[in-house]
Amino acid sequence: MIGSDKDWLSAIRWDADGLVPAIAQDATSGDILMMAWMNEEALRLTVAENRAIYYSRSRRKLWRKGESSGHVQQLHEIRLDCDADVILLKVTQEGGIACHTGRRSCFYLKLADLRWQPVDPVLKDPEAIYGGGH
Amino acid sequence: MIGSDKDWLSAIRWDADGLVPAIAQDATSGDILMMAWMNEEALRLTVAENRAIYYSRSRRKLWRKGESSGHVQQLHEIRLDCDADVILLKVTQEGGIACHTGRRSCFYLKLADLRWQPVDPVLKDPEAIYGGGH
């Protein structure tokens, strides 16, 4: 039984790199905003600070979502799946934009006619979000 | 630009094992049902057969979701994220049960008081789903 005696962090089945996938879902609309990765520190801090904090595999460091964009994800609820190897965050997305392209969700490419077609609008120019430094 | 010239399958950034995470979301309710993995063949067949087909990392073979439980996921839409390394499936979950524990969603463990607590009901005894062979 998960969580009965074990510490909540050690109950998680981290992968060979010490990471788990974390899905961010809009707590109100149910829309899936993004998927990123967490190490143990990121998950612990997510709970401690009540906001989504990921681990950037490319930058190899913690990524406080919104640190450069202001698009913080306020935490409502955390769930774990039956295999204890995927995290689900229910969040409020500040600014209504989760994606670095300026879209609400990162999943804006839809398969249609066997092509990935962008179907969601850019709500804000990334230059305006990141000041051209992204 | 993703998908403009490239084949839709080769546009995907498969990981070192040739896999991508695939999130299954209920097309009607927006609930997240599960996350599993796909290789190129699984994704190609998912589209060809219009149902979710994953790659089981533990069994090292294709996993036609529902093959033993009958809980097939009928495909409505496929999306890809901005990094081209996560798939989102919008599905109709036959039987209303995605999880091998007999629950609607695999994400039935909620963090409360720093413990993972099961908060969703078992809709059907797994013994009745799998005939005790699971």
Each residue's pLDDT tens digit, A2-47: 544 569 999 999 999 999 999 999 999 999 999 999 999 999 999 9
pLDDT tens string A88-110: 999 999 999 999 999 999 999 99
- Taking an 8 Å cut-off on Cβ atoms, the answer to whether B99 and A82 are in contact is yes
Q: Which domain holds residue B41?
A: 5-123
- State the pTM of this model: 0.94
Is B130 within a domain?
Answer: no
- Taking an 8 Å cut-off on Cβ atoms, the answer to whether B115 and A23 are in contact is no
Closest partner residue to A32 (CB to CB) among B23, B78, B115 is B23
Q: Which residues contact B85 (CB under 8 A, 6 or more apart)?
A: B12, B13, B14, B15, B20, B21
pLDDT above 90: residue A131: no
Is A131 within a domain?
Answer: no
Phi, psi (rounded to 5 degrees) for A21: -70, 145
Is B129 within a domain?
Answer: no
Is B133 within a domain?
Answer: no
Is A118 within a domain?
Answer: yes
In three-state secondary structure terms, B128 is: helix
- Residue A132's pLDDT band (cuts 50, 70, 90): low
Is B10 within a domain?
Answer: yes
CB B72 within 8 A of CB B65: yes
Identify the CATH number of the domain in which residue A76 sits.
Answer: 3.10.20.810
* Alpha helices by DSSP H, chain A: 40-49, 126-130
ipTM for the assembly: 0.94
What's the gap in Å between the CA of B65 and the closest CA on chain A?
Answer: 16
Is B134 within a domain?
Answer: no
Q: What does the block give as tokens for A103?
A: 């879209």
The residues on A that touch B, with CB distances below 8 Å, are 2-3, 8, 11, 21, 23, 25, 29-32, 34-35, 47, 77-84, 86, 88, 99-101, 103, 106-111, 114-117
Is B131 within a domain?
Answer: no
Give me the number of domains chain B comprises. 1
Q: What is the mean pLDDT of residues B87-106?
A: 97
